[in-house]
Amino acid sequence: MIKPRKLKRNKYQGRKWDRFKGNFSAFRDFFVISIWFCFVLTLGAGLSQLYYKIVHGQWFKLEQIDVTGMKRLNRTEVLDAMGLKRGECVLGINAQRVAGRLDRLPVVDKASVRLEWRGRIVAAIDERKPVAVVACGGRDMLMDSKGILFAETGPGQKNSAPLITGLCDPDVRPGDSVSAGSLRHISKLLSALDGSKTWLSSSAIDECRWSESGFTLIMGQRAVPVYFGKEDFGRKLVKLRDVIDTLNERGWSDLVTRIDLDYPGRAYLDGQFPVSAPDQGTAKQSG
């Protein structure tokens, strides 16, 4: 009996079990990748739905805006400058950017904005404080300590701050500022006047008139010009007090028509004073 020849196994042909394991490994990798892809896709869809619900949820909708510190501004001006809409998502609001919009208002010196819980925003405003009123071509503008002309005074509005004339052009707009050189002289004068308020009331000065040669103060009901020049205002105010005391003692207060204080140690007065004939019309007061 002839036995069949046993076929030799091809050494380059892997066994069936090895091929099965290889195919299973490839399928397993594909299956794992598919599962992860489905998981990431489902997670992304879930997060998207969650974000949508958060953005459009009642807890994150802008429902209330509170503004503090308003004196000259009104609520409508502030809300228009903030540029926010009722019902928008507070998560997309940049508080610092909104505060920057408020800072651009001429009246605002500094503004801050903070977001609070349940759709509430609080804007705190520090308005500029007027230290002087500057006449600009028929308009009176409020000026702060930095020299910024930030607002017009209303018709008939009374201000305790000194009135400065002859300083700026008529085309000045809110937000403009006076020159640095002029501001330096103004600041010195205002500081000297503030130091003399115990005896010289603000109502006694009707106008601080500026020119290239310096300041002239228009004082009293008779609008007497008092020339101060550009420097040393504190010393000249002390001299002015001595002059006023002397005029009151002699009963000449209603006779003086002009006072010049821009002389070292002296004050020159114009007026019809009862003096000797050669000096009639002018008197000299030593300071």
The string of pLDDT tens digits covering residues 42-68 is 666 555 555 555 555 556 788 889 999
What one-character DSSP code corresponds to residue 90? G
Q: Indicate the CATH number of 132-286 among 3.10.450.50, 1.10.10.60, 3.40.50.11690, 3.50.50.60.
A: 3.40.50.11690
pLDDT for 281 beyond 50 = no
% of the chain residues with pLDDT over 70? 75
Which CB contacts under 8 angstroms, 24+ apart, belong to 167-170? 167/134, 167/135, 167/136, 167/210, 168/134, 168/135, 168/136, 168/137, 168/141, 169/136, 169/137, 170/136, 170/137, 170/138, 170/139
Q: Which of 109, 113, 138 is nearest to 124 (CA)?
A: 113
Max distance between CA atoms of the chain, in angstroms, equals: 175
Specify which of 14-18, 199-203, 212-216, 262-266 reaches the highest per-range mean pLDDT: 212-216
pLDDT for 256 beyond 60 = yes
pLDDT at position 209 is 95
**Beta pairing, strands 149-152 & 139-143:** antiparallel
Three-state SS at 62? coil
What is the pLDDT averaged over residues 198-211? 91
State the span(s) of the chain assigned CATH 3.10.20.310. Answer: 59-127
State the span(s) of the chain assigned CATH 3.40.50.11690. Answer: 132-286
Q: In what order do the strands lie in the sheet with 132-136?
A: 149-152, 139-143, 132-136, 163-165, 205-211, 214-219, 224-229, 256-263, 266-271, 282-286
The string of pLDDT tens digits covering residues 85-98 is 888 888 888 999 99
What one-character DSSP code corresponds to residue 88? S
pLDDT at position 31 is 63
* Alpha helices (H) along the chain: 16-55, 75-82, 95-103, 180-195, 233-250
Q: List phi, psi (to 5°) of 178.
A: -80, 165
Three-state SS at 283? strand
Per the model's pLDDT, the better-predicted residue between 166 and 283 turns out to be: 166
Q: Round to whole Å and give the CA distance between 33 and 20.
A: 20
For residue 271, how many other CB atoms are within 10 A of its CB? 17
pLDDT at position 286 is 44
**CATH class in words for 59-127:** alpha beta
Q: Which of 78, 75, 76, 142 is nearest to 104 (CA)?
A: 78
Q: Round to whole Å and give the CA distance between 234 and 226.
A: 14
Specify which of 14-18, 101-105, 249-253 reaches the highest per-range mean pLDDT: 101-105
Q: Which of 141, 137, 136 is nearest to 161 (CA)?
A: 141
State the chain's mean pLDDT as an integer: 82
For residue 113, how many other CB atoms are within 10 A of its CB? 23
pLDDT at position 55 is 52
The string of pLDDT tens digits covering residues 220-246 is 889 999 999 999 999 999 999 999 999
Three-state SS at 284? strand
Q: Look at the chain and count its residues.
A: 287
pLDDT at position 89 is 83
The string of pLDDT tens digits covering residues 6-53 is 545 555 455 555 555 555 565 566 666 767 766 676 666 555 555 555
